[in-house]
């Protein structure tokens, strides 16, 4: 019988969450049964057919209104009073320390009550959440209410920016295991749990599938074209990128930069483009399908991502897998993938001068040099970011969690404890 697990994400499917979709599909390809759950829907924003197909397979906790939340909250409260009181106590503790307060955490408890029923109905033996924020909170509360063991993947940087506010230490303590997507991320998780719990922190990287790993080589164009893929926001550094573009344009360098994505800073970026007169150099596409993103990367000499805060961007591994060098910053997990001088360039975050210099190098470098860098990057991605290999690591962790619970469930003491707590 296939191992039955469930995934919970705050927003899924989502334009920027292709790595979750690939992970789920890779698990299913090796025989794991995966139920998809999301707190809220972003159906109106989806542009990729693969995401639209995932939408049909996903159940949403907030899809049935406030009354449905209240009914499930009361149902679990009356049927499992002992566990419900424990969950309420935890809601009180986490709510006081959080940015959002008690009311939001009561909503998370109601969501956990809905999820509990759905997981029991589907006979799920393990729940995995992506991100250590809201979805991990719901997973934790669901576990306290009597749901299956849970784990969660921490991406950063958000989780590390507000560790106490999201009760990250408590979530680690209660979890069957926790996943970090980079060695840097694992080190940050080590900081927030006792060394006796370090054994439950596992490195499972985000990955790309065979559509990237088996991509036939596409020659790098002679045209001086760079591409930046990502949400238009402060963290991604596109505002400084426009300054670097202005400097290169002032030098008379002929080139084009395509910004693929959308976000809260789009109007500000467009304003700066107009102020500097860079309409011929910079194009903003808005959100794009995965195929469009792939083509934009292939049409470029290099991907550029001048971020201030990241975990390890999936678009970097995608670009390298497609044989394109990467320009990025020396933060978080990025140096674990991008090797300066071999597969790209790394600059100090926020340094416009350094960013301008490496953009100039990428635009003026011989194509043969860029293609050699691209090949080195593709080899590294194939070695450490193959989604099939990483999914197998996760499946092993799910199996270990299931066996641990099964062995405990046969203990008479545990059976008595479970019955009295409910």
Distances (CA, A) of 92 to 85, 104, 105, 128, 149: 11, 11, 8, 24, 22
Domains of the chain and CATH, by start: 4-207+386-421 (3.40.50.2000), 211-384 (3.40.50.2000)
Assess whether pLDDT exceeds 60 at residue 410.
no
pLDDT score of 407: 58
Q: Look at residue 16 in the predicted model and tell me its pLDDT.
A: 87
Q: What is the mean pLDDT of residues 44-49?
A: 89
Where is pLDDT greater, at 407 or 194?
Answer: 194
pLDDT of residue 329: 98
pLDDT of residue 406: 63
**What's the rounded Cα separation, in Å, for the pair 47 and 42?**
11
Q: What is the pLDDT of residues 1-39, one digit of tens each?
A: 789 999 999 999 998 899 999 999 999 999 999 999 999
| 404: confidence class by pLDDT, cuts 50, 70, 90 | confident
Query: pLDDT, tens digit, for every residue of 251-306?
Result: 999 999 999 999 999 999 999 999 999 999 999 999 888 899 999 999 999 999 99
Q: Per residue in 356-396, pLDDT tens?
A: 999 999 999 999 999 999 999 999 999 999 999 999 999 99
Give the pLDDT confidence of 192-231 residue by residue, as tens digits.
999 999 999 999 999 999 999 998 999 999 999 999 999 9
Q: What is the average pLDDT across 78-107?
A: 95
Span 63-79, average pLDDT: 96
Over the stretch 164-200, which tens digit does the pLDDT of each residue have?
A: 999 999 999 999 999 999 999 999 999 999 999 999 9
- Round the average pLDDT of the chain to a whole number and report it: 94
Mean pLDDT of 63-91: 97
pTM (2 d.p.): 0.92
pLDDT at residue 1 in the model: 72
């Amino acid at each position: 019988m296939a191992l039955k697990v469930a995934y919970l994400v705050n927003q899924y499917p989502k334009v920027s969450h292709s790595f979750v979709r690939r992970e789920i599909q890779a698990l299913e390809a090796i025989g794991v049964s995966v139920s998809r759950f999301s707190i809220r829907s972003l159906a109106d924003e989806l542009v990729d057919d693969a995401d639209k197909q995932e939408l049909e397979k996903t159940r949403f906790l907030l899809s049935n209104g406030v009354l449905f939340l209240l009914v499930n909250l009361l149902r679990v409260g009356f049927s499992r009073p002992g566990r419900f009181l424990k969950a309420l106590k935890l809601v009180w503790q986490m709510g006081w320390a959080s940015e959002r307060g008690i009311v939001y955490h009561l909503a998370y408890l109601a969501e956990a009550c809905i999820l509990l029923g759905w997981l029991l109905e589907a006979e799920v033996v393990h729940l995995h959440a992506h991100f250590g924020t809201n979805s991990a909170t719901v997973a934790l509360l669901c576990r306290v209410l009597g749901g299956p063991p849970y784990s969660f993947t921490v991406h950063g940087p958000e989780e590390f920016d507000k560790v106490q506010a999201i009760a990250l230490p408590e979530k680690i303590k209660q979890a069957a295991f926790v996943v970090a997507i980079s060695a840097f991320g694992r080190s940050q998780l080590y900081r927030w749990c006792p060394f006796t719990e370090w054994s439950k922190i596992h490195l499972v990287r985000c990955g790309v599938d065979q559509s990237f790993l088996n991509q036939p080589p596409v020659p790098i164009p002679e045209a001086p074209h760079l591409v930046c893929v990502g949400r238009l926001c402060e963290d991604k550094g596109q505002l400084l990128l426009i300054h670097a573009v202005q400097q290169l344009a002032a030098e008379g360098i002929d080139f084009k930069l395509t910004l693929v994505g959308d976000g809260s800073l789009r109007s500000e970026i467009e304003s700066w483009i107009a102020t500097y007169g860079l309409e011929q150099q910079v194009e903003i596409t808005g959100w794009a399908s995965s195929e469009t993103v792939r083509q934009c990367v292939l049409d470029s000499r290099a991907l550029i991502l001048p971020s201030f805060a990241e975990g390890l961007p999936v678009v970097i591994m995608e670009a390298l897998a497609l044989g394109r060098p990467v320009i990025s910053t020396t933060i978080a997990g990025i140096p674990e993938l991008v090797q300066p001088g071999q597969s790209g360039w790394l600059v100090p975050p926020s340094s416009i001068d350094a960013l301008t210099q490496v953009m100039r190098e990428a635009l003026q470098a011989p194509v043969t040099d860029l293609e050699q860098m691209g090949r080195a990057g593709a080899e590294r991605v194939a070695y450490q970011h193959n989604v099939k290999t990483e999914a197998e690591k996760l499946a092993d962790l799910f199996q270990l969690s299931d066996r641990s619970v099964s062995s405990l469930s046969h203990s008479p003491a545990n059976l008595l404890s479970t019955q009295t707590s409910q």
